[in-house]
Structure 1
Amino acid sequence: MLDGVLKKRIDPTMDRLAAVLCRRGVGANAVTVAGLVLGLAAAATIAFGLLWAGLALLLLSRLADGLDGAVARQTRPTDLGGYLDIVFDYVFYGAIPLAFAILDPAANGLAAAVLLMSFYANGASFLAFAIMAEKRKLATEQRGRKSLFFTTGLAEASETIVTFVLFCLFPQYFAVIAYVFAAMTTWTFVSRIRLSLKSFG
């Protein structure tokens, strides 16, 4: 939901940072891998209870996630880059709730499981829609040029990052925040199913 608004504001800064990386010979795939490594480090740090360090690594990870696309646009976007980007995003999205479940299984375990289930369903609906859209030669640039058909929703990358930041800032409310975001993610899943009925029915 917020991605479209924030993209216009942050793209100029991302493009300038990407230009610096390009001049130093850093490729988009290297930035993507760095984002995953930072994201997994954030999850491990959170699991050990070092929430402020985890938050810093989490934000650096998402900076890398934004930069890889900007670097690709200034060099040469590839199918491999698009594939790695989406796969590594979902690994990161799963790792953070899992980290909080490990941190406090009794308080966070069920809420983390519910959130991960909503991520699983939403991710399946997103990727399956992209496959069917490609089969029908559909295209969209609602979120800029992407490697696959990008359907929007109530719960997108920006909302996910905000949620993960809230987890780190207010860990005592993890369960409440997780249930709220799981509901938002489920709403996005249901909306995408409705869109598929209109688009492919």
Structure 2
Amino acid sequence: MLDRHIRPLIDPVLNRLGARVAHHGISANEVTLAGLGFGLAAALMLALGLPGVLALVPLLIGRVLDGLDGAVARASGGKSEFGGYLDLLCDFAFYGAVPLAFALREGGNAPAAAFLLAAFYVNGASFLGYAALAAKRGIETTAQGVKSLYYSAGLLEGTETVLFFVALCLWPEAFRPLALGFGLLCLVTATARALMARRVFGGA
């Protein structure tokens, strides 16, 4: 929901920084993997019970790198299909690592973490399914930035997810209500996307 408003603000900065990174011979895929590394480091810190504020540092660095890899790709001659695939794979790995970290941090978090992971799974399936159908129809969009696949808009997008993870780092003791609330919103997003898919692509 917020991505289309945030992208015009951050893309010029990322594009300038991406050009500098590419100039030094660093590939977009290397930036993607570095972003995943920082994200997993944040998850590990949370799993070990360290203060969430400390985990916030690598988490934010990882998210900045996640936004930077596309700019590096464009500065290096354009996006690649594998680069888009790797970026999405790393995003899903990071998204799954955070709920797992809180389940390991405190056993009582496990039910809420399981619900959140299930909601991520359903929302991710709705997203990827829509992208596959859009690719089949040749439908494209740049509303959420230049991507390797179709990014369907929704109630929850990248910006909202980052803000959610920041909240978890700032208030780790509130994981259960935050996870339940965000999980429910993920399911609302998936439902809305499914209804939109039916309207756009047709169905009985």
Q: TM-score, normalised by structure 1?
A: 0.96
Q: CA deviation at 1:105?
A: 1.4
Q: 2:189 is matched with which residue?
A: 188
Q: TM-score, normalised by structure 2?
A: 0.95
With 145-154 and 50-59 compared, the bigger mean Cα shift is at 50-59
Pick from 61, 86, 89 the counterpart of residue 87 of structure 1: 89
Gaps (5+ residues) in structure 2?
none
Residues 140-166 of structure 1: CA distance to partner in whole angstroms, max 9, x if unpaired? 222122111110111111111111111
Alignment map for 1:15-54 (pairs within 5 Å): 15-50=15-50, 51-54=52-55
State the distance in 1 between where 2:12 and 2:143 align. 17
Q: CA deviation at 1:49?
A: 1.3
Q: Sequence identity of aligned pairs in percent?
A: 47
Q: 2:102 is matched with which residue?
A: 100
Amino acid at match of 1:121: V
Q: 1:58 is matched with which residue?
A: 59
Q: Residue 77 of structure 1 aligns to a residue in which SS?
A: coil
State the distance in 1 between where 2:165 and 2:146 align. 26
Amino acid at match of 1:85: D
Amino acid at match of 1:138: I
Q: 1:11 is matched with which residue?
A: 11
Alignment map for 1:144-155 (pairs within 5 Å): 144-155=145-156
Residues 95-135 of structure 1: CA distance to partner in whole angstroms, max 9, x if unpaired? 011101110111x1111111111100000111111111111
State the distance in 1 between where 2:45 and 2:97 align. 11
Amino acid at match of 2:114: A
Alignment map for 1:149-188 (pairs within 5 Å): 149-188=150-189
Amino acid at match of 2:19: A
Q: CA deviation at 1:20?
A: 1.6
Amino acid at match of 1:187: V
Q: Residue 37 of structure 1 aligns to a residue in which SS?
A: helix
State the distance in 1 between where 2:142 and 2:15 align. 18
State the distance in 1 between where 2:122 and 2:167 align. 23
Alignment map for 1:107-126 (pairs within 5 Å): 108-126=109-127
Q: CA deviation at 1:14?
A: 1.0
Gaps (5+ residues) in structure 1?
none
State the distance in 2 between where 1:74 and 1:23 align. 8
State the distance in 2 between where 1:140 and 1:77 align. 15
Aligned residues: 200
State the distance in 1 between where 2:174 and 2:70 align. 33
Q: CA deviation at 1:13?
A: 1.4
With 114-123 and 136-145 compared, the bigger mean Cα shift is at 136-145
